Chain A
Amino acid sequence: MRTLGSDSGFGELFKQYDVLGAFWVNIQLTLWSALFALVIGTVLALFRISPVGSLRWAGTAYVTVFRNTPLTIIMVFLTLGVWAQLHVTLSDDLQKNFFRLAIVGLSVYTASFVCEAIRSGVNTVPVGQAEAARAIGLTFLPAARIVILPQAFRGSVAPLGSTLIALTKNSTVASVVGVSTETSSLMKNMLEFNSSLLVAIFLTFAIGYVILVIPVGFATTALSRRLAVQR
């Protein structure tokens, strides 16, 4: 563990290691997973609010299982189980394969949180809104499209924002699947070979995440305030 290699200066490190490139890998992981998670999560939310019992049950079961399983175990299962034992391959290129497996893991995990965020948005709409829509003669689809879903979407902006932040941070768990170019793997590598700069290296990566995550928080808070339905 204790490797006292060539301790170079702090500035030299950035020539030696591609820190920005590592962050770019995490951003790519985040964006792809956010896209898939949004699709799966929306479908699950539709299941959970539908009047069809079996779909509701399926949606609830999915959310219960994936919200209560650690992301790490999903990731390990994807490599050691699904890829190594069930021989599910997503690309012939090994690195690309791991990258895609990580996206699968992040997506199926995050989808359960997206589903709950959307559902909580629907829950913010008072029943009176639906009753009013019915009263002025709107049938199901127009009522949903014109009255209920726009309000539901506004209510789910804030929880979706915190889900996106969590996803950004969770993208580091991709190192468990073997994505070796992302930030946590690179940081570990750098720390092991530059023991004298331990704190400085950690702070560099940490501040990178602060810069990445905090604007998302500000943006979604501002957006949800602006979109908030006055009641």
Chain B
Amino acid sequence: MTDSTVLFDAPGPRGRRLIAIGNVVGVLVVVGGLAVVVRAFAENGQLDGALWSPLLTADAWKNFYLPGLVSTLEAAAASIALALLFGLVFGLGRLASSRWVRAASGTVVEFFRAVPVLLMMIFFSLFFAYNGVFQSQYIPFFAVVVSLMLYNGSVIAELVRSGVHNLPRGQREAGLAIGLTTGQSLRTVEVPQALSAMLPALLSQLVVALKDSALGYAIGYTELLQQSRRLGAAHGNILQSLLVAAVIFVIVNYTLTTLAQRVRRRRRHHHADGGEPGAAGGIVGATPPPIPAPAR
């Protein structure tokens, strides 16, 4: 099934012929494009087996790719865990009854969503270095994690807020009716529902953090990109080693994206069946919070 149903009817004989011609043209264009790339590689001697074989050795994987991937995953996981905390605090802050708390949280969230992550990483790495906060070998790691926490945490804060806003009004009213204060109703009734709707969005945010952790390359964090560059420098095959690193990134991120989609679909099914307690009461109508396009 494709989502082209809006635009196209089931094709008739003439339409089918046109589609067949289009298919042939499409294949030719793709193959032609690939041929240009392969020729550029061949002309510059980049298809030479001696340049590719070092990438298949145990040394390449044990000393470069795998440690690099582990560092990338560590930074992404740590920053998303902290970002969840940050997002909860400031998301709740944006929903607080005090106007000042709301304004302060809003300013923090909007600020960190607007500042490029690379600028934050450069700032924090120098800030930590001048102030001697961490031992020097840990500085790049913490600069990466803190920057990613601030950015992704701000995005998550927005998810928390929109998740709560998308709940039916009756949820809060019911909470107040049984004698909860607004804060209690928020914490025990509204936010838990918003959070469970956020799971797919959190996985998407993990992909964003994984991709952004590659910015650590610019401040000397030895993640996957940095390691593959070192490997390439050692064997004089930088082009090939970077390609392999890109493939690893695509595989990891694609797996996570697919997982997020599956979770999203399952939640929707779950709700459509009315299988969840209270689903009939209108939570069904609560659309999951809109997923902002991953920013990177």
Contacts and interface: CB of A to CB of B under 8 A. Distances in A.
B7 A122 contact: yes
B3 A210 contact: no
Interface stretch (A11-19, A31-39, A47-55, A94-102): A47-55
Interface in B35-79: 40-41, 44, 46
B229 A170 contact: no
A184 B22 contact: no
Between A72, A87, A187, A195, the greatest number of chain B beta carbons within 10 A of the residue's beta carbon is seen for A72
Given A68-B250, A69-B246, A184-B116, A85 B238 contact: yes
Contacts of A162: 292-293, 295
A76 B295 contact: no
Contact of B293 (A126, A166, A199): A166
B9 interface: yes
Contacts of A212: 114
A104 interface: no
B293 A191 contact: no
Contacts of B194: none
Contact of B22 (A50, A126, A213, A214): A50
A49 B46 contact: no
A1 B129 contact: yes
A73 B110 contact: no
A198 interface: yes
Contacts of A231: none
Interface in A159-173: 159, 162-163, 165-166, 169-170, 172-173
A53 B6 contact: no
Contacts of B238: 80-81, 84-85
A-B CB proximity, top 8 nearest: A54-B26, A70-B214, A68-B253, A52-B22, A169-B116, A81-B239, A72-B214, A70-B211
Interface of A: 1-2, 49-56, 58, 64-65, 67-74, 76-77, 80-81, 84-88, 113, 116-117, 119, 122-123, 125-127, 129-130, 134, 140, 144, 148, 159, 162-163, 165-166, 169-170, 172-173, 175-176, 183-184, 187-188, 191-192, 195, 198-199, 202, 205-206, 209-210, 212-214
